[in-house]
Amino acid sequence: MANNTTQEFDSVIAVCKSLFLKKTNDYGTAWRILRLTSITDQLFIKAQRIRTLEEKKVSMVDEGIVPEYIAIVNYCIIALMQHKLTAEDPTELPVAQVESLFDQEVQQTKELMFAKNHDYGEAWRDMRISSLTDLILMKILRVKQIEDNAGQTLASEGVAANYQDMLNYAVFALIKLDVK
């Protein structure tokens, strides 16, 4: 099963990364101006749109849930990069550096996914996509609360771990939606 998961994960990430790098070439790293709270709000918008589409089954904008899940993957990676970059780092980063940072965050998140998959027995494979959406929304609300608490937690993981979980849930949804 793990080899299949590896291939599926890598295939989904390749789709997300391709779009991310194309947008980086088009727009540069304008996302560097965003505070983590703004990225969290952008994730909320994307996840809430998915939930609305799941419930209403009608879209007024000619985009379905797949582009939104791809956006969640990419915004989570942006959040993870921003979390590590400092104000002293340049706003405009070279594409090659962005690609390297992207790959580092994906690798760390993939390792976390495999550790959790081992412990949970790939339970996500039996979950509904709508449940993955709800878990992403829950994680976003957790992150917002942590942000509102100035990053302080008493017994919980920090924002980076939550971004990693959201990224993995979005990848799982895209695997279930057969994105390649």
What tokens were used for 75?
């915004």
Q: Give Rg (Cα) of the chain.
A: 16
pLDDT at position 149 over 90:
yes
pLDDT in tens, 58-89: 766 667 899 999 999 999 999 999 999 998 99
pLDDT in tens, 90-100: 999 999 999 99
Domain span holding position 72: 2-176
| In 57-158, alpha helices (H) | 65-84, 95-120, 129-148
Contact 166, 112 (CB under 8 A): no
- Selected residue with higher pLDDT from 62 and 144: 144
Residue 171's pLDDT is 98
Number of domains in the chain: 1
Place of tokens 């992403």: 136
Reported as a pLDDT band with limits 50, 70 and 90, residue 1 is very low
DSSP category for residue 169:
H
Over range 5-24, report the average pLDDT: 97
Query: 39: number of CA atoms within 13 Å, CB side?
Result: 27
DSSP, collapsed to helix, strand or coil, labels residue 52 as helix
DSSP state string for 11-42? HHHHHHHHHHHHHHHHH-SGGGG--HHHHHHH
